[in-house]
Amino acid sequence: MTPIYQPAEDSYLMSRILKEQLPDLLNEKPDLKFLEIGVGSGIHLQSATSAGVKKENIFSSDINENSVSHCNILGFNCVHSDLFENIHGKFDLIIFNPPYLPKDSNEPEDSEVATTGGVKGNEIILRFLKEAKEYLEKEGKIFLITSSLSEDVNFQELGYQEKELGCEKMFFESLCIWELAVIL
């Protein structure tokens, strides 16, 4: 049974940024449609609800069936999906705290799905960014976490303008959250 990712530093950074950013985004668009890819424990669905995103506008997914069942039990709309495979519609805000670590042969197989982004660490992020454009409303935004431990991503080459929303340095890595908008 694949364990549900328990909130850690990366999750808390995303929660903080959502608390800071959602009030302004909701001011601009009270009917904001929110999607989280890789929902895990559902921590950010709770933040979105507390910030005032309407529950019927909150959508989520995970490749881990246990996360999906857990978030359904919490009362959220959550589907089993490999990235956007089973996602339909367009969203004003898509968030993703991805698996971003480079492959480590010592990592247990059942936690790898939540932590390992590929050989260089950024492969799932690259796949996500190639697909995400199709699912963004006009002027929609992405909040994405990256780590200094994985290979850098050139957002502009992939067609996105980036803005750094916050970073956190730990003794072994630094994590950043990026706001991304499609370059028109």
Ligand X SMILES: C[S@@+](CC[C@H](N)C(=O)[O-])C[C@H]1O[C@@H](n2cnc3c(N)ncnc32)[C@H](O)[C@@H]1O
For the CB of residue 35, give the shortest distance to ligand X in the complex, in Å. 11
CA-CA distance, 35 to 57, in Å (whole number)? 8
Q: Which structure tokens are listed for 11?
A: 């999750």
Contact positions toward ligand X, by CB under 6 A?
A: 5, 7, 10-11, 14, 37-41, 43-44, 61-64, 67, 81-83, 97-99, 113-114, 124
Give the residue with the Cβ less far from ligand X, 65 or 139. Answer: 65
How far apart, in whole angstroms, are the C-alpha atoms of residue 129 and residue 95? 11
In Å, how far from its chain's centre is CA 17?
12
SS3 content of the chain, % helix, strand, coil (to 5): 35, 30, 35
Task: Identify which of residues 167 and 183 has a Cβ nearer to ligand X in the complex.
Answer: 167
| Closest distance to ligand X from the beta carbon of 157 (Å) | 22
**Closer to ligand X by Cβ: residue 27 or 50:** 50
Least spacing, CB of residue 184 vs ligand X, in Å: 27
- Comparison of 83 and 129: residue with beta carbon closer to ligand X: 83
